[in-house]
Amino acid sequence: MARLRWLLFPASALLLLVSPAAFGLCRQDLTRTIEQEIHDPQWQRGQWGIVIRDLTTGEVLYNHQGEKLFLVASTVKLTTVAAALTYWGANHTFVTTLSGRSPDRTTLRLQGGFDPSFRSQDLQRMANRLAQQGIRRIQVLEIGGLTPVMLEPTWAIEDLTMGFAAVVTRFSVNQNALNLEVVPQQLGQPLALRQQESGLPWRVVNETRTVATSEVEFLESEVRSQEIIVRGQLHVGSEPAEIRIPLREPIPYLRQQVQRAFAQAGIQVQQIRPVETAEPLPEVLVRHTSRPLRELMLPILRESDNFYAEMLLAALEAAQPGYRQRYLAQIGIQGAVLVDGSGLSRQNWLTPNDLVTLLQQMARTAHASLWWRSLPLAGRSGTLRRRLRNTPAQDRVWAKTGTLRGVAALAGYVEPVQDRPLVFSIVLNQAGMTPPQLRSGVDRIVLLLAQLQTCDRSG
């Protein structure tokens, strides 16, 4: 079973987040004001980790449990992207090939290169280009690098059943998932479900409805052997949404996608056979190159895409095993415990100081501008598009979000109106509260930073 479920925090509720210091906060008062926030009785069962530094001077403005290990959820993606960007550079691409042996081309190999963006249309173009070379019949088409899929064993069952799993294979199509567009209709009517691909062996069961704006929006899906059940509700008049349902066993889906693409190109394939080898055959006949890393990193940082993150780490591990951990050690991050690329695992452990150190390091590199603008912008883009809207932090905070049950994290940069840029990491681990409740606590701290100013009290 695979499920996807999300809940939207009403933008109007952000008005409740505005701090009493809404019109400016002196640096000298920052510690006292944050202490008042984090020692509120509602957080007494939780653990806060906060580090705030002046990005220009490196001065530590505030540190609360900054050296303590925390669950930091999707802020782990910062380590994955930073390591990949440092190792390959922003222009690196991932290549998918069709190869064979001359003069006998009865056996060909389709070889993936960990391209997370590879889609049905790309596969079709490759098949068409092969047909243009006069190939009309393939006795055996091997899909290279396909091994039995093993999901990360430390991922929580709830995250798997909610559809957040990222099933990674060297060759993937459509992120190894089914994609449905969900469109609100008239009040009380079922949502329209638009399947982006035809001919798939699943029947879609629609158990959704269009609701008033006063009701909660959510979507969830369930994959059974021959059907997909979609449940949930969206507001009347709201924008369409996309629901992605990862396939726990993608190899049959990949075989079906390959068979269909080659058939549409007029090529008869007698047998499709997965093989474990990760090398192409000697003669490369068709090559597909991905978009550069500077574009592929955007879904990871802005939208917190788990599949892209896991594919990027898998590619990095294939190129240079253990590189991410060594990179972190080189920039002064010791003792980080990382088991995946996305942050889904509850056995990833980082300190708030680790995250700030990483952010400071990236701000000093040649990739600084790309890195900075690739992060979500408060109230505008990515996973922060609905957060901190119409507050002093809007358009002034670029940060990576992190959310798991009982975990809320935010790490990035702030440009206060009347102060120098800051780098920060805020982590809250507390069970028993909803993600919106935890995020509201984090956002209150961020609002303080956005209002920070240097005050002259000499007189």
| Rounded Cα distance, 300 and 239, in Å | 22
Q: Do both 303 and 443 map to the same domain? A: yes
Instruction: Give the pLDDT band of residue 21 (cuts 50, 70, 90).
Output: very low
Q: Do both 234 and 357 map to the same domain? A: no
Instruction: Give the pLDDT band of residue 14 (cuts 50, 70, 90).
Output: very low
E strands, 315-369, in order: none
Q: Do both 59 and 193 map to the same domain? A: no
pLDDT at 159: 63
pLDDT at 178: 82
Q: Do both 327 and 426 map to the same domain? A: yes
Q: What is the dihedral of CA 191, 303, 381, 439, to 10 degrees?
A: 90
Is residue 376 within 8 Å of 382, Cβ to Cβ? yes
Question: b or e along 281-315 (b: 16 or more beta carbons within 10 Å of the residue's beta carbon)?
Answer: beeebbebebeebbebbbbbbbebbbbbbbbbbbb
Q: How far is CA 313 from CA 72, 309, 441, in A?
A: 17, 6, 31
Residue 61 domain flag: yes
Paired tokens of 251: 């190899």
Which of 117 and 218 is assigned the larger pLDDT? 117
CA-based nearest residue to 427, from 186, 89, 144, 70: 70
Is residue 411 within 8 Å of 363, Cβ to Cβ? no
Domain count, the chain: 3
Q: Do both 238 and 256 map to the same domain? A: no
Residue 435 domain flag: yes
Residue 75 domain flag: yes
Write the DSSP symbol of residue 283. E
pLDDT at 454: 83
The CATH number assigned to the domain holding 46 equals: 3.40.710.10
Residue 228 domain flag: yes
Residue 155 domain flag: no
7 burial (CB, 10 Å; 0-12 / 13-18 / 19+) is exposed
76-88 helix and 352-363 helix, angle to the nearest 10 degrees: 30
pLDDT at 457: 62
Is the predicted pLDDT of residue 148 greater than 80, yes or no? no
Q: What is the dihedral of CA 268, 274, 276, 280, to 10 degrees?
A: 20
Q: Do both 300 and 268 map to the same domain? A: no
Is the predicted pLDDT of residue 17 greater than 60, yes or no? no
Is the predicted pLDDT of residue 8 greater than 60, yes or no? no
| Rounded Cα distance, 200 and 138, in Å | 23
Q: Do both 314 and 418 map to the same domain? A: yes
Chain segment 290-317, per-residue pLDDT in tens: 999 999 999 999 999 999 999 999 999 9
Q: What is the dihedral of CA 122, 123, 128, 129, to 10 degrees?
A: 70
Q: Do both 328 and 443 map to the same domain? A: yes
- Weakest-pLDDT range from 48-62, 222-236, 395-409: 222-236
E strands, 125-187, in order: 137-144, 177-183
Chain segment 249-293, per-residue pLDDT in tens: 888 889 999 999 999 999 999 999 999 888 999 999 999 999 999
The CATH number assigned to the domain holding 263 equals: 3.50.80.20
The number of residues in the chain equals 459
Choosing from 264, 290, 316, the residue where a domain stops is 290
pLDDT at 2: 34
- Range 337-352 average pLDDT: 95
Which of 448 and 154 is assigned the larger pLDDT? 448
Q: Do both 206 and 338 map to the same domain? A: no
pLDDT at 113: 95
Whole domain around residue 230: which residue ranges? 173-246
Residue 160 domain flag: no
In this prediction, what percent of the chain has a pLDDT beyond 70?
Answer: 90
Chain segment 91-112, per-residue pLDDT in tens: 999 999 999 988 878 899 999 9
Residue 459 domain flag: no
Residue 458 domain flag: no
Q: Do both 338 and 411 map to the same domain? A: yes
| Rounded Cα distance, 266 and 270, in Å | 13
Cβ within 8 Å of residue 372, ≥6 positions away: 363, 398, 413
Bridge partner residues of 62 (DSSP): 52
Which of 32 and 163 is assigned the larger pLDDT? 32
Cβ within 8 Å of residue 248, ≥6 positions away: 2, 149, 151, 160, 165, 167, 223
CA-based nearest residue to 400, from 86, 160, 162, 80: 80
Instruction: Give the pLDDT band of residue 149 (cuts 50, 70, 90).
Output: low
Is residue 413 within 8 Å of 398, Cβ to Cβ? yes
Is the Cα torsion angle 228, 232, 236, 239 positive or negative in sign?
A: negative
Cβ within 8 Å of residue 199, ≥6 positions away: 260
Q: Do both 285 and 298 map to the same domain? A: no
Is the predicted pLDDT of residue 158 greater than 70, yes or no? no
102 burial (CB, 10 Å; 0-12 / 13-18 / 19+) is exposed
Q: Do both 59 and 122 map to the same domain? A: no
